[in-house]
Amino acid sequence: MSDELVARMDRLESRHHIEALVSNYCHGFDKRDYERFLSIWWDDCVWKIGPPFGDFAGHDGIHEAIHEVLWPAWAQSQHVTSNLVVEFTGPDTANGLCDVDCMGLLTGSTEATFVGATYKDSYARRDGIWRISERDVTIHYFNQFGGTTLSAPEG
Amino acid sequence: MSDELVARMDRLESRHHIEALVSNYCHGFDKRDYERFLSIWWDDCVWKIGPPFGDFAGHDGIHEAIHEVLWPAWAQSQHVTSNLVVEFTGPDTANGLCDVDCMGLLTGSTEATFVGATYKDSYARRDGIWRISERDVTIHYFNQFGGTTLSAPEG
Amino acid sequence: MSDELVARMDRLESRHHIEALVSNYCHGFDKRDYERFLSIWWDDCVWKIGPPFGDFAGHDGIHEAIHEVLWPAWAQSQHVTSNLVVEFTGPDTANGLCDVDCMGLLTGSTEATFVGATYKDSYARRDGIWRISERDVTIHYFNQFGGTTLSAPEG
């Protein structure tokens, strides 16, 4: 097979690896699986969440954001990502754009909070592994549904 | 082309076939297209919905769940799946993890009900066809928006 | 590589190009990026939104729908697409089915409006480029959350 066709197949596979990063961000965060969450980030990553949560850098920053800020702030959450567009800038680098709707319960609140946001991402492949280099978050809305809570059906 | 490259292309195609199973679950269920819904399940499948709906097995169980339990319970529904992660365990078997938000109207209710859940799936390929072997549902929330109904715009 | 394998790789790439059309519909519309939005449509396209917005044809129709009807009607919006199923009818033509949840603020309203809809699409490739030939919209619900607004966190 020609080099060009090998490169095309590699790109198709890379697209799926990147999609899995975006999905595992949600699975790791919402299911409180820190190992899964950390595995999507390069150790020199930048995670710019902005207000009200702040910006974080590196694996130390990820640890702080998750364990000291976000998981304490949310009693429960579910992120639904959508509209992922990946643009490759080379064989080992790509940019991504996607949207997310999140439904959750803030700690101490009995009312459902819903958030809509957009993620602008940079991904890089090193030693054959794709991870996130940078994720910039723009929050469009962050509000509560008055009188509406979140609860699972009784078993 | 080498056997290894043929296997890589087959895996990329399998990923898309599996994604279509996950999507057609929603299209079949919400649009009340039983033929489409049934086509995603192996005849020895297991569908563990859990409370409040129960667990079901085989095509007979799918028929019972749909026609005797779920479609009677829901006057209207729309499932939005997201975050699909597929892990292949062999050329013809894979596991999947995805999340869903569902908005609907329970039969007899005038208030919108929203549900958030996670699906843990097993898929198998037999005679060249991918279908779902097992889907385990974990419901995170199942609530109503007080004072909010669902209705289409008038034509 | 055999012609059959080249065709299979082309189809996998086409699937991703079509997925990007569906995503860029949302990014272009919600982020008010008209160039991105227009780039997904063939100049002889049909966009059947139906009530309450109407049907539109061609790039002139897209311009009218966006600039005279939809962007004036919505102060803010976020579309989340899901469940995309693509069926190819030839190397250069395909049909698509997907669902969307949209959260937004109608102009002049302080209450969040949510919309659930299904898109039936036709895509065509001309001169190597995939675009949308037709999108038929079926709106399932179009309602407001009483007492709930949309607002971003303060910086």
Residues of B with CB under 8 A from a CB of A: 1-2, 5, 8-9, 12, 15, 50-52, 80, 82-85, 97-99, 101, 114, 116, 118, 139-147
pLDDT value of residue A1: 56
Cβ-proximal residues to A65 (8 Å cutoff; 6+ apart), any chain: A47, A49, A53, A54, A56
Query: Chain A contacts of B22, Cβ < 8 Å?
Result: none
Query: Chain B contacts of A101, Cβ < 8 Å?
Result: 101
Instruction: Please tell me the distance in Å from C86's CA to the nearest CA on chain B.
Output: 8
pLDDT tens for chain C, residues 1 to 155: 578 888 999 999 999 999 999 999 999 999 999 999 999 999 999 999 988 889 999 999 999 999 999 999 999 999 999 999 999 999 999 999 999 999 999 999 999 999 999 999 999 999 999 999 999 999 999 999 888 899 998 76
By DSSP bridging, strand A129-144 and strand B129-144 are unpaired
Segments making up each domain of chain A, as ranges? 3-144
ipTM associated with this complex: 0.95
In this prediction, residue B1 has a pLDDT band, given cuts at 50, 70 and 90, of: low
Question: What is the DSSP code (8-state) at residue C127?
Answer: T
Answer yes or no: is pLDDT of B104 > 80: yes
CA–CA dist A78, B101 (Å, integer): 9
Any idea which fold C3-144 has?
A: Nuclear Transport Factor 2; Chain: A, (3.10.450)
Beta-ladder partners of B117: B100, B139
Averaged pLDDT, B123-150 = 95
Instruction: Please tell me the distance in Å from A11's CA to the nearest CA on chain B.
Output: 11
CA–CA dist B147, B145 (Å, integer): 6
Q: Do A80 and C80 touch (CB under 8 A)?
A: yes
Answer yes or no: is pLDDT of B63 > 70: yes
By DSSP bridging, strand B41-50 and strand B129-144 are parallel
Q: What are A42-85's pLDDT values in tens digits?
A: 999 999 998 888 999 999 999 999 999 999 999 999 999 999 99
Averaged pLDDT, B119-131 = 98
CA–CA dist B142, B113 (Å, integer): 7
Q: Are C37 and C63 in contact (CB under 8 A)?
A: no
Number of helical H runs and strand E runs in chain C: 4, 6
3-state secondary structure B51-70: CCCEEEEHHHHHHHHHHHHH
Residues of B with CB under 8 A from a CB of C: 1, 6, 9, 12-13, 16, 20, 22-24, 26-27, 30-31, 76, 78-82, 101, 103, 112, 145, 147-155
Q: What are A114-155's pLDDT values in tens digits?
A: 999 999 999 999 999 999 999 999 999 999 988 889 999 876
